[in-house]
Structures are given as structure tokens and as C-alpha cells.
Amino acid sequence: MADLNIPNLNIRSDKYIFKKKFNLRRKSKRRLFTESFFLFILSVLLVYIIYLIPNKNLLLQTLPSTLNKSFLLLIDLFSYLYEIFLVIFIFVSLFTALILLIGSFYRLFKVSKIKSKQIIYK
């Protein structure tokens, strides 16, 4: 009884773990021809769009300096953001300190106004 093997039906066999799920049918010659025609048309369209761009050589020559300037502007942006967040923090902390100060004065005023209750013994 101890060597009786009961198969577990919920676990797939190891040979089916990496089974290919996609269809392995070959495409017809007509479909391959139409796909290649669409690819050719798309490539010609892209080359034409690139041809229409004026001053391509100048753009390619000034690319390193443009990238350098953009990185410098990005660094400036982050430094300005740091200063802006610092000023916002200063205003928020001043407003919070003002609220806490008003609350403490109000509590001191309330405590000083309270009269001690006299206990009357009969």
C-alpha cells in the first residue's frame, strides 16, 4: 500500500511546460508578397519624409552642442526646482509655526481664565 502512486491531475507533466503556443503554419506566397509590398511602401514613405526635412547636415553637425545645452538646462531646472521647493517649505513651516503659536497662546489664556472650584462641605 505504501508504494501506491496516485497521479495528481492538477499538475501538468514537465514535458508540456515549455510547449510552443503559437501557430506553426506557413504563410502563403501571396500573403508574404503583400506583406513585403507593404514593407517596401512604408520604407519608401519614410525615406521621402526624411528627404523633405531641410538642413539635415546642419542638424546632424549641431547635435552634440544641442545635447550639451539641453543637459545644462536640465541641471539648471533641477537647481531651480530645489530653490522653489525650499521656499515652499519655508512658507509652510512658518504657517504651521504661526498656527502652533496661536494655539499655545489660546491654551495659556484658557488655563489662566479657569477659576478653581471651591468644594463646599455640608
pLDDT of res. 65: 96
Phi, psi of 120 (to 5 degrees): -100, 120
Mean pLDDT of the chain: 84
- Indicate the SS3 state at residue 108: helix
pLDDT of res. 53: 92
The rounded distance, in Å, linking the Cα atoms of 104 and 110 is 10
The rounded distance, in Å, linking the Cα atoms of 43 and 35 is 12
Residue-wise pLDDT tens digits, 26-75: 888 888 999 999 999 999 999 999 999 999 999 999 999 999 999 999 99
The rounded distance, in Å, linking the Cα atoms of 119 and 16 is 89
**CB distance 56 to 50 below 8 Å:** yes
3-state helix, strand, coil in the chain (%, to 5): 70, 0, 30
Residue-wise pLDDT tens digits, 81-108: 989 999 999 999 999 999 999 999 999 8
The rounded distance, in Å, linking the Cα atoms of 43 and 36 is 11
- Domain residue spans of the chain: 14-113
The rounded distance, in Å, linking the Cα atoms of 29 and 114 is 98
